[in-house]
Amino acid sequence: MTLAHPLSSWAKLFLLALVWGSSFWLIKTGLQTFTPTEVAALRLAVAAAVLAPFAIVRIGRVKKHQWPVLLSIGMTGSLLPAFLFALAQTQIDSGVTGALNALTPLFTLIIGAFIFRQAVASPTLLGLLVGFIGTLMLVLMTAHGDLSLNGYALFVVLATICYGANVNLIRVFLPDQSPLTITGVSLLMVLPVACVYLLGPAEILPKLDSALGWRSFSAVIVLGVVGTALALILFNHLVQVASTVFASSVTYLIPVVAMTLGVLDGETIGVWQMAGMGLILFGVWLANRKPPVSIEPLATADVTPVASEPGQQPKQEN
């Protein structure tokens, strides 16, 4: 029996899952010293700085009518999720956050169907229902099996809705632009927001007076450089040497990595939470199976997002 892809491609896939899955633990570490707003702003600034050289040389490729779209993508694909994830993790575990992040493909389908009129088959609807049930279990059940609404989990759900909108904006309005152009330029457009906060009310330097402060600072820097910029480049490379479908399977691995790291860091993952994660992943699998219809079905495994967050997958580089 032969593998459909070489071992090197599998190694890169697992490396990408490790990088994106560990992002939630890095956010958690950053929050030990900094506020959610500081973590998000610093992360965005670092990621934008890393991608700035690539973005600047590609600005000329952007058409006039695409600038408002790129601004919207910067908001929904980077700015808002960065703040929402950091805020959510002040009250929920990193492992649960990683599991909820798997909702991104489901909201991509929902927004594509109801706003952009994409065709949706019956298996897709079933997948959405299964994923919704799994989400309710994660939002309403504690690690000990108690019924308790955790409103902060809804911030993660809102972030995945932003990601879903981001994917559809890219697919509909920017089919001619490369992932590196879209991500780099859109990050540059929201960079002023992060800089205004970092140069104003943020208190980064005064907090670097202890080993814990430097540990948190280092975690956020790694989050921006590795978890955003380099992960994007690695994904684009994986799409080129393997396939978009193969690379998209990282969506199923990210929650496993996030929850494993959470447990190793002392978090408690209950049976109900494991079941909720399993239902979300099963729902994503159902929803992303290629439906047997002929009128342009939405298949998120074939058309994937450009993003600076874990769980989002860009289209192949032009």
In SS3 terms, 4-67 reads as CCCHHHHHHHHHHHHHHHCHHHHHHHHCCCCCHHHHHHHHHHHHHHHHHHHHHCCHHHCCHHHH
Going 57 to 58 to 63 to 65, the CA torsion angle's sign is negative
pLDDT of 240: 58
Q: Give the integer Cα–Cα distance in Å for 199 and 14.
A: 37
Q: Which residue is associated with the tokens 């991500």?
A: 183
Strand (E) or helix (H) holding 232: helix 231-241
Count Cα atoms within 13 angstroms, Cβ side, for 129: 6
Q: Give the integer Cα–Cα distance in Å for 238 and 235.
A: 5
pLDDT of 3: 54
Count Cα atoms within 13 angstroms, Cβ side, for 239: 22
pLDDT of 304: 39
Question: Read out DSSP for 137-206?
Answer: HHHHB-TTS-B---TTHHHHHHHHHHHHHHHHHHHHH-TTS-HHHHHHHHHHHHHHHHHHHHHTT---GG
Q: At what angle do helices 122-140 and 104-114 cross, to 10 degrees?
A: 130
Q: Give the integer Cα–Cα distance in Å for 299 and 288.
A: 6
Residuewise pLDDT in 10s, the chain (318 residues): 445 667 888 888 889 889 989 999 999 999 999 999 999 999 999 999 999 999 999 999 999 999 999 999 999 989 999 999 999 999 999 988 988 888 888 888 889 888 988 877 777 788 888 888 888 888 787 767 777 777 899 999 999 999 889 888 988 898 888 888 888 999 999 999 999 999 999 999 999 999 999 999 999 999 999 988 888 778 767 755 665 556 666 777 888 888 889 989 998 888 888 888 888 888 878 876 764 544 444 433 333 344 444 444 444 444
What CA–CA distances, in Å, run from 165 to 60, 81, 246? 25, 12, 23
Q: Which residue is associated with the tokens 């990193």?
A: 94
Query: Domains of the chain: which residue ranges?
Result: 7-288
Q: Is 297 helix (H, G, I), strand (E, B) or coil?
A: strand
The answer to whether 93 and 27 are in contact (CB under 8 A) is no
pLDDT of 51: 92
